[in-house]
Amino acid sequence: MPTPGKCRRNGRTQRVNDRHIILALSLLLCLGFTPRAVTQTLPTPMPAAQPEQKPEVKATKTNPDEFPPNPLDMTTPDPLLPSAAAQRPLSALERKQLAVALDELNNQAAARLKQRDRVGAFAIWYRELRLRRSLGTVEEVKALGRVGDIAWKENLTPDVRWITKRLDAILAQQLPIATTSMTPTTSDAAAQPSNAAPLSSSDRAERLAVLEALGLAYQQVRLPKPAVSIYTQILTDAKQRRDEKKTDETLITLAQLHLTWLDYPNATATYRELANRAKARGDRQNESIYLTQLAYSYEQAKQPAQAITAQQQLVALYEKLPDPKPIPALKIKIADNYQLLAQPDQAEQNYQSAYQLAQPTLQLAYASEALQKLGALYRANDRPDAALKVFDYLVSLEQQSYNLYGMMNAYDQIGQIQLDRNQNQQALAAFQQGLGLAKQLKYRQDYFTAQIQKIGKP
């Protein structure tokens, strides 16, 4: 046996040799050499300890580049679905039970949101939305629109984007319901084939139901362009089938959609079509509704001349009806639009007509408005005598309706006109009348007092 000293010396010598070998190998590797004989002599490293392997769970099919992941892409099995739901459709009883459970989930989410737990609420809603797919496309789209509306109101941009992405995917799967194809306007929706075969009646009805649900859902997530595109396709189909009721319903939806999103050119075009259709079938009630909306759309679009045309058509329509009460208000609107067009003569005629028609029918509010605007028109056009006469009529009219506020304002106008004419005594009398009414109303007392004091000064 070697002596202890010898062993220590041999061990030290071995350690030195090992260090030399390692240094030599490092130099060879740096130079790019990997001698096979050398590498075979290297000791095999021990494998690192691996963590305990857990059973693999297929959780999502999300885009790995998307962060945070889209919760609507999750495919984790849900205990509310039967285990064999992927292989067969749900039975009627299973559908009913699932629908009840999903309504309860919706209620739970709404309760969470009411407690301001938005994260918890939308986690439940996303589970509901994933499960709604098992009840059919229409049910899913309706739920997507409902939750999307809530997300938009809560200013949750990522959630609105996820829901919109799912709507786009559903839209891309829909075949055209008519021979004319529709190309979706959203970025993620695929174009529809233009040479698709005609659909059967049942398939057409199913596609129509899905598209109508999609149109509403896109409105709920505040995306008017795809909604308009969808309703335009529905309108085309209704016209091809000569479904007059469906055509009118879709035109009304489109008109309201255009008006809501301030698209006045398309709104006026749609209401004009609706009015012409109603007139053609002798539907005076709906014609009056559409002409009213048409005139409003023109006014919002700053097109007073076109608005006057629609309003004059309305006047002609109401003159044929047994109840002409809407005419005075229309006459005032027509006069207002003539003022915008700098046509004071036509404005004057219509204000006078509005007053003459409103007073006999005891529409005193419209009669008062017509006189106020007529008097202001005369003042603006340097006709003080005519203005004084109008405001004198206005005082009498306001007395009939016990409108102290209207009388006070009329006396103020009279006093201002008399001041402009240097008729100080008449102006003083008018302001004193106005002050008496102001004291009763406890309103504008300081104003009338100041006017009186100013006249009384030398």
Q: Residue 167 pLDDT more than 80?
A: yes
How many helices (DSSP H) and strands (DSSP E) are in the chain? 19, 0
Q: Residue 14 pLDDT more than 90?
A: no
Mean per-residue pLDDT for 401-430? 95
Q: How far is CA 58 from the centre of its chain?
A: 38
Exposed, middle or buried by CB within 10 Å (0-12, 13-18, 19+), for 80? Answer: middle
**In this predicted structure, what is the pLDDT of residue 249?**
97
**In this predicted structure, what is the pLDDT of residue 452?**
94
- Cα-Cα-Cα-Cα dihedral sign, residues 110, 111, 114, 119: negative
State how far the alpha carbon of 249 is from the alpha carbons of 147, 178, 231, 264, in Å. 25, 18, 10, 19
Residue positions counted in the chain: 458
| Percentage of residues in the chain having pLDDT higher than 70 | 79
State how far the alpha carbon of 140 is from the alpha carbons of 210, 217, 241, in Å. 10, 10, 28
Listed range (48-52, 65-69, 193-197, 303-307) with the worst mean pLDDT: 48-52
What pairs with residue 74 in β-bridges?
60
- Statement: the pTM of the whole predicted model exceeds 0.85: no
**In this predicted structure, what is the pLDDT of residue 324?**
85
- Cα-Cα-Cα-Cα dihedral sign, residues 144, 147, 151, 152: positive
Exposed, middle or buried by CB within 10 Å (0-12, 13-18, 19+), for 82? Answer: middle
pLDDT digits (tens, 9 = 90+) for 334-385: 999 999 999 999 999 999 999 999 999 899 999 999 999 999 999 999 999 9
Exposed, middle or buried by CB within 10 Å (0-12, 13-18, 19+), for 292? Answer: middle
Longest dimension (CA), the chain: 144
Q: Residue 99 pLDDT more than 50?
A: yes
Check residue 382 and give left, alpha or beta (phi > 0: left; psi -120 to 50: alpha): left
Q: Residue 30 pLDDT more than 60?
A: no
**In this predicted structure, what is the pLDDT of residue 32?**
45
pLDDT digits (tens, 9 = 90+) for 195-232: 556 677 888 889 999 999 999 999 999 999 999 999 99
For the chain, what is the mean pLDDT? 85
Rounded Cα gap, residues 59 and 135, in angstroms: 22
* Among the listed residues 145, 162, 183, the one whose alpha carbon sits nearest the alpha carbon of residue 66: 162
Mean per-residue pLDDT for 123-134? 96
Exposed, middle or buried by CB within 10 Å (0-12, 13-18, 19+), for 302? Answer: exposed
Mean per-residue pLDDT for 36-53? 38
305's tokens: 């001349």
The DSSP symbol for 271 reads H
Exposed e or buried b per residue across 185-214, where buried means at least 16 C-beta atoms within 10 angstroms of its C-beta = bbeebeebeeeeeebeeeebebbbebbbbb
* Among the listed residues 434, 433, 436, 427, the one whose alpha carbon sits nearest the alpha carbon of residue 454: 427
**In this predicted structure, what is the pLDDT of residue 177?**
63
pLDDT digits (tens, 9 = 90+) for 53-98: 333 333 334 455 556 789 999 988 899 998 877 778 899 999 999 9
**In this predicted structure, what is the pLDDT of residue 6?**
42
225's tokens: 């362009």
Mean per-residue pLDDT for 113-123? 97
Q: Residue 45 pLDDT more than 60?
A: no
The DSSP symbol for 293 reads H
Q: Residue 190 pLDDT more than 50?
A: no
Rounded Cα gap, residues 381 and 413, in angstroms: 15
Helix 201-220 vs helix 224-240: crossing angle, to nearest 10: 150
Can you tell me whether residue 286 is helix, strand or coil? helix
CB-based contact 407:395 (threshold 8 Å): yes
* Among the listed residues 252, 171, 162, the one whose alpha carbon sits nearest the alpha carbon of residue 210: 171
CA 384-389-393 angle, 5° bins: 145
DSSP H/E element including 113: helix 92-114
| Percentage of residues in the chain having pLDDT higher than 90 | 72
**In this predicted structure, what is the pLDDT of residue 35?**
43
Torsion of CA 250, 252, 253, 259, to 10 degrees: 140
CB-based contact 187:193 (threshold 8 Å): no
* Among the listed residues 450, 394, 452, 441, the one whose alpha carbon sits nearest the alpha carbon of residue 418: 452
Q: What are phi and psi of 287, to 5 degrees?
A: -60, -40
pLDDT digits (tens, 9 = 90+) for 171-186: 999 866 644 444 444 4
